[in-house]
Structure 1
């Protein structure tokens, strides 16, 4: 465990609750990266010090503490400028990283697929490019610990041209991956596969829910950013309607812009969805702020118009007074099979509200078409009329589906 202290600057216009939440989150991020937080320093200032982030007096106090307690790393709550990073590294003479670098480091550790690793490396290189000069000494102080995973492990070159060439190379490779992903999405659209995306704040229980609903075994851990590489599996709703369920990377407050840009193609999985399951860790004291963060990111991605069901997870840790902040909603424990059944019922209920009802008579000989209807709509009633040798199907279907007009006009089978 790397020994660290956290330093934060609180400005006058900062919301107190949000600020405290960001400190707690930085502490959790540090622990996720296998660091141990010894002390947290907070300084209230009218504005961030342009050269040193905080005042010289407070900095001297921190310097004395890290020398006395053998601290090897100082983590700053905000993104530091190249100048601040260089001056702070010289002044404190220990490893210096900021919130962005810490998040990038965790992402580098978590990425498993080729695409995930390329995206993280791209984000790290774009972050490092303006900070190259003065980083040499700081990188050596970090000594292969937190803040050096990913490209840092291969001794990041201090040559800007080399980094620019590598960035261009990664972008070219990622564009090929994006092209393949787009073709895959296009095929899904042509097949009219209904897509449900599971989104939520990091560590809300998305992977646990995904695994329980799909009998899958994606990575689950009670840590931030357990999932980086999205998975898609098929699930069946109670009516028999089949859908694709996608697990996604966890959202977070102040997600670095380099990461949003690098993970664009992954996050676009959300914008391509037909329906969003928003997972919330309802037991977290700051879950309302987490919800707001996710809503804002969905707005930024252009996915805020999609039908959404909010899933308040960890019901077993809640008291009887808990009340959902967003509707429609369902409160569950992702480990409880009965709750999972309630969730699937609720998903159908919310989808039905968005879709159009239909009623159609189909001859018994039209088995292929009957199967098509049942696979692409939510059928709640299926009656066989013996004297007519016809089936009466009643259900709901998406207005955008090619079958919609055939079912609404009821011009088959009568």
Structure 2
């Protein structure tokens, strides 16, 4: 039987966690000291038992500073326990992954009570962590009063069902958690459609296991429990009906997203036709991409210290120090093990990255494992076909970074730029680096543009780099470097 904390009987959040800690002590894992008292098995058996035991990760409890405020806002915070299985890497890598899962759960609105990891060669195909460890996990869930278990991985439908049968609370995986965050943060019509498509793609393979009670197949003799006359014969099960409806809805969403993407494609084609370079700000979620866009362009987009605060792309115009115009686009952030359903659903949005002339790859230098962020983002770049786009690595949040971590990053990325979108440090150097990395203007022109061709003067300002300009009685004399396409339109006005 699950034990739940009566919040009304406690005066503060500290008492809630003190009571939970007392009950958690009752399910203390079997240790080497216990083994010595019980008869001292050999050291190899102790090491093996310790290696495969569930290990609690410290510091994963969400602190509720004011429970009364939460209740007044009529919010229901789910009380969750986190569970991770690590099959490779170090224990620190596993802890960092679970800490990131904690941040995801908090972003979704949950209160994290406990976090545990287990070392296995591979996840158990039936229950993800093994039946014995699942029983231990159920005791931990009961002792904390949690109502949800979040697993740091993608569970197969069978794993999810069997794990729920053992722990007796709702079980969700990392993919479902990320999809839920995206659903909360989507604001535009296209963003909502993309998230719904990703959710349905995830759900359609998990309709099994809902039980035979939902069957709509009829048969048997008249008057029997199967419905009788008029209802006998082959029918359609509830799962088949749901699957058919979901497939139809997914097809409709794909058509809607395709139509909504047309407007953005037209704008992108117009920029490409006018030879305006495109720079995409990409990187790990919560790396400070929106803050950097605001610092560079005064865009005024939403900045919030949480994961996936930005889902809808924002495009703003900026200029290099010599006056050349280019566009800056802020895109959705990436995360390790980004669900494939999201990559497919957001493919039209991520094309902004693949079609860019330059990528500003923003890295959170204050993160415990920024090198893992770099590799995770580059994996997504490869998946969307952006691996060949020129890249400038930007180490953000250097004002809060560990100097030793910065030194390691400099060794791995010697050409990276160090900036702080918060303080403005390094921004001028970043703008200069962007100007140097933009595609070259390969045509030099000397023209006399009559005053009735102000449209061409405007395009030279917007697309080119002006060396010299003079207003005369005949028109505007200009010496500039421009793209090849614009140079063709200026040939007839060449100055003698």
Q: TM-score, normalised by structure 1?
A: 0.84
| Deviation of 1:159 (Å) | 2.1
- Compare CA radii of gyration and give the structure with the larger one: 2
| Deviation of 1:318 (Å) | 3.2
| Deviation of 1:163 (Å) | 1.6
**Cα contact 2:447–2:493 (8 A) shared by 1:** no
**Cα separation, 2, equivalents of 1:319 and 1:126:** 40
Give 1:10-409 correspondences, 5 Å limit.
10-11=86-87, 13-14=88-89, 18-134=93-209, 159-318=242-401, 322-323=406-407, 324=410, 325-326=412-413, 328-337=415-424, 339-351=426-438, 354-356=439-441, 359-363=444-448, 365=450, 368=454, 369-379=456-466, 381-382=467-468, 393=479, 395=481, 401-403=484-486
Aligned to 2:279, the other structure's residue is in SS state: strand
Query: Would the alpha carbon gap of residues 341 and 84 (structure 1) be closer, same or farther in structure 2, given more than 3 Å must change?
Result: same
**Cα contact 2:325–2:463 (8 A) shared by 1:** yes
| Deviation of 1:116 (Å) | 0.7
**Cα separation, 1, equivalents of 2:442 and 2:325:** 18
Aligned to 2:430, the other structure's residue is in SS state: helix
Structure 2 unaligned regions, length at least 5? 1-76, 212-238
**Cα separation, 1, equivalents of 2:457 and 2:257:** 42
Q: Aligned-pair RMSD on alpha carbons?
A: 2.9
Query: Would the alpha carbon gap of residues 185 and 9 (structure 1) be closer, same or farther in structure 2, given more than 3 Å must change?
Result: same
**Cα separation, 2, equivalents of 1:318 and 1:78:** 29
**Cα contact 1:357–1:394 (8 A) shared by 2:** no
Matched with 1:412 is 494
| Deviation of 1:101 (Å) | 0.3
Matched with 1:2 is 78
Query: Would the alpha carbon gap of residues 116 and 135 (structure 1) be closer, same or farther in structure 2, given more than 3 Å must change?
Result: farther
Structure 1 unaligned regions, length at least 5? 137-155
Aligned to 1:182, the other structure's residue is in SS state: helix
CA deviations on 1:152-199 (whole Å, 9 max, x unpaired) are xxxx99822222222122122122113333233222322333211110
The alignment of Structure 1 onto Structure 2 pairs a total of residues equal to: 387
CA deviations on 1:327-375 (whole Å, 9 max, x unpaired) are 5432111133464333222211222xx4256544333757744543332
**Cα separation, 1, equivalents of 2:138 and 2:121:** 23
**Cα contact 1:4–1:38 (8 A) shared by 2:** yes
**Cα separation, 2, equivalents of 1:326 and 1:267:** 24
Aligned to 1:159, the other structure's residue is in SS state: helix
**Cα contact 1:359–1:410 (8 A) shared by 2:** no
Query: Would the alpha carbon gap of residues 25 and 362 (structure 1) be closer, same or farther in structure 2, given more than 3 Å must change?
Result: same
Matched with 1:142 is none
**Cα separation, 1, equivalents of 2:96 and 2:176:** 19
Q: TM-score, normalised by structure 2?
A: 0.71
Moved more, 216-225 or 92-101: 216-225
**Cα separation, 1, equivalents of 2:303 and 2:240:** 35
**Cα separation, 2, equivalents of 1:169 and 1:361:** 54
**Cα contact 1:310–1:327 (8 A) shared by 2:** no
**Cα contact 1:309–1:327 (8 A) shared by 2:** no
Moved over 6 A (4+): none
Q: Which one has more relative contact order, counting CA pairs under 8 Å at least 6 apart?
A: 1
**Cα contact 1:359–1:392 (8 A) shared by 2:** no
**Cα separation, 2, equivalents of 1:179 and 1:307:** 26
Query: Would the alpha carbon gap of residues 319 and 405 (structure 1) be closer, same or farther in structure 2, given more than 3 Å must change?
Result: farther
| Deviation of 1:96 (Å) | 0.5
Aligned to 1:403, the other structure's residue is in SS state: helix
**Cα separation, 2, equivalents of 1:350 and 1:170:** 38
**Cα separation, 2, equivalents of 1:240 and 1:382:** 12
Query: Would the alpha carbon gap of residues 187 and 30 (structure 1) be closer, same or farther in structure 2, given more than 3 Å must change?
Result: same
**Cα separation, 2, equivalents of 1:219 and 1:91:** 42
Aligned to 2:373, the other structure's residue is in SS state: helix
Moved more, 368-377 or 326-335: 368-377
